[in-house]
């Protein structure tokens, strides 16, 4: 049977056919080196990749490792050499209270923001949700997650302050919000303010995990006689739990390091670690750079524990994804 085109053979096959007196077909690219332009382009691409990686490591060293090293050394360095004086001051009532308040506020907002964000993400990005709802929720979350600091504090004062729009409207409806003990300038008010950017951040982080839930799993559970509650108890929640906990760890770190929002809202009346660092560095109460570095070292230790927990959870998530 005749073939449609020339048959290309390897070098041993050509030698055998040549010995038989048959001239083999030769590929047009046999024995030719890659074009010079292609090799030059590959070399430039590799050089650009190395340059970008080097720039990234320079950035990490300059803005993360060197400042962390300065904080570590400065926390143990006094006027007359090495000392533990400033680290011991972290155990005094004032700074221990600041750490306790920061951890409590971060935990509360991470838990509430995590649960609410997970529910909103499931309602917005699940396959059964309309496209317009998914677009609206993700767009708003992207904006709200980055809306913090003085503008956010001013917005909440205008809304939930003693003369805020919502506060006055509730009074006209016969409900006095501040008579219940709530105050925007208290711990509970800070928690409500933090949730404004914590919940959208959770929606952004957890949405990919929610989208990864396959419809086939629910259908298989239903075919086996499982109720919706049993599906979530034995399938859905165990799959989402590592991702949810990892996202809550990120929310904890996000709240723990917040400075501008609580300072603008409470003027430093609630003891939080970032505010205490600002006080000792700016000289509002006293000027002690070494004490500020010791407080920053305590924050680094707390954040390191949080990031360690996040890394362990991410390892479990990646193992499940494989």
Q: Does residue 176 form part of some domain?
A: yes
pLDDT of residue 21: 52
Of 133, 132, 109, which is closest to residue 122 (Cα–Cα)? 133
**Residue 139 placed within a domain:** yes
44: exposed, middle or buried (C-beta count within 10 Å: 0-12, 13-18, 19+)?
exposed
Q: Do 51 and 94 sit in the same domain of this protein?
A: no
Instruction: Give yes or no for residue 38 having a pLDDT over 70.
Output: no
Within-domain flag for 24: no
pLDDT tens column, 280-301: 887 665 678 889 999 999 999 9
pLDDT in tens, 245-291: 999 999 999 999 999 999 999 888 899 999 999 888 876 656 788 89
Q: Do 251 and 175 belong to one domain?
A: yes
* 227, part of any domain: yes
Same domain, 134 and 263: yes
CATH number assigned to the domain comprising residue 268 = 1.10.3720.10
**32 assigned to some structural domain:** no
Longest pairwise C-alpha distance within the chain = 107
In a domain, 17, yes or no: no
Q: How many domains does the chain have?
A: 2
The domain boundary residue, chosen from 24, 50, 75: 75
Give me the sign of the Cα torsion angle 152, 154, 155, 157.
positive
H-type alpha helices, 145-288? 150-160, 165-172, 187-211, 215-223, 228-231, 237-256, 260-266, 273-282
The pTM (predicted TM-score) of the whole model is 0.79
Does 162 share its domain with 117?
yes
Render pLDDT for 137-153 as a digit per residue (tens, 0 to 9): 999 999 999 988 899 99
Predicted confidence at residue 218, as pLDDT, reads 87
CB 149 within 8 A of CB 260: yes
Q: How far apart are CA 271 and CA 251, in angstroms?
A: 20
Q: What token pair was written down for 222?
A: 């239903």
SS3 215: helix
In terms of domains, do 134 and 207 share one?
yes
The answer to whether residues 169 and 240 belong to one domain is: yes
Residue 21 domain flag: no
Say yes or no: 179 and 274 in one domain: yes
Of 75, 99, 130, at which residue does a domain stop?
75
Does 205 share its domain with 66? no
Q: Are residues 127 and 51 in the same domain?
A: no
Domain boundaries, position 57: 37-75
Asked, for residue 109, whether it belongs to a domain, the answer is yes
One domain, residues 315 and 243: yes
243 touches 206 (CB < 8 A): yes
**Is the pLDDT confidence value at 12 over 70?**
no
Among 53, 75, 97, the domain boundary falls at: 75
Both 289 and 194 in one domain: the answer is: yes
Same domain, 136 and 184: yes
């Amino acid at each position: 049977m005749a073939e449609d085109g020339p048959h290309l053979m390897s070098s041993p096959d050509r030698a055998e056919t040549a010995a038989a007196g048959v001239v083999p077909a030769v590929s047009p690219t046999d024995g030719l080196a890659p074009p010079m332009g292609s090799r030059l382009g590959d070399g430039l691409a590799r050089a650009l990749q190395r340059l970008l990686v080097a720039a990234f490591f320079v950035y990490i060293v300059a803005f993360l490792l060197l400042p962390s090293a300065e904080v570590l050394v400065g926390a143990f360095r006094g006027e007359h050499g090495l000392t533990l004086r400033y680290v011991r001051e972290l155990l005094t009532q004032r700074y221990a209270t600041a750490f306790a308040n920061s951890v409590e506020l971060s935990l509360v907002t991470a838990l509430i923001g995590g649960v609410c964000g997970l529910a909103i993400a499931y309602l917005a990005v699940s396959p059964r949700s309309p496209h317009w709802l998914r677009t609206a929720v993700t767009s708003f979350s992207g904006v709200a997650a980055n809306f913090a600091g003085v503008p956010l504090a001013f917005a909440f004062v205008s809304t939930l302050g003693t003369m805020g729009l919502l506060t006055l409207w509730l009074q006209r409806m016969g409900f006095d919000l501040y008579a219940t003990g709530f105050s925007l300038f208290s711990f509970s008010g800070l928690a409500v303010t933090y949730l404004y950017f914590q919940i959208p951040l959770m929606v952004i982080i957890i949405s990919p995990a929610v989208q990864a839930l396959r419809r086939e799993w629910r259908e298989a559970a239903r075919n086996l006689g499982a109720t919706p509650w049993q599906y979530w108890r034995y399938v859905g929640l165990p799959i989402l739990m590592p991702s949810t906990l990892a996202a809550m760890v990120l929310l904890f770190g996000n709240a723990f390091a917040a400075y501008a929002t609580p300072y603008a809202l409470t003027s430093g009346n609630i003891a939080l670690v970032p505010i205490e660092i600002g006080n000792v560095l700016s000289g509002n109460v006293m000027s002690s750079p070494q004490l500020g570095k010791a407080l920053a070292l305590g924050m680094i230790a707390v954040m390191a524990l949080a990031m360690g927990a996040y890394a362990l959870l991410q390892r479990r998530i990646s193992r499940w994804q494989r």
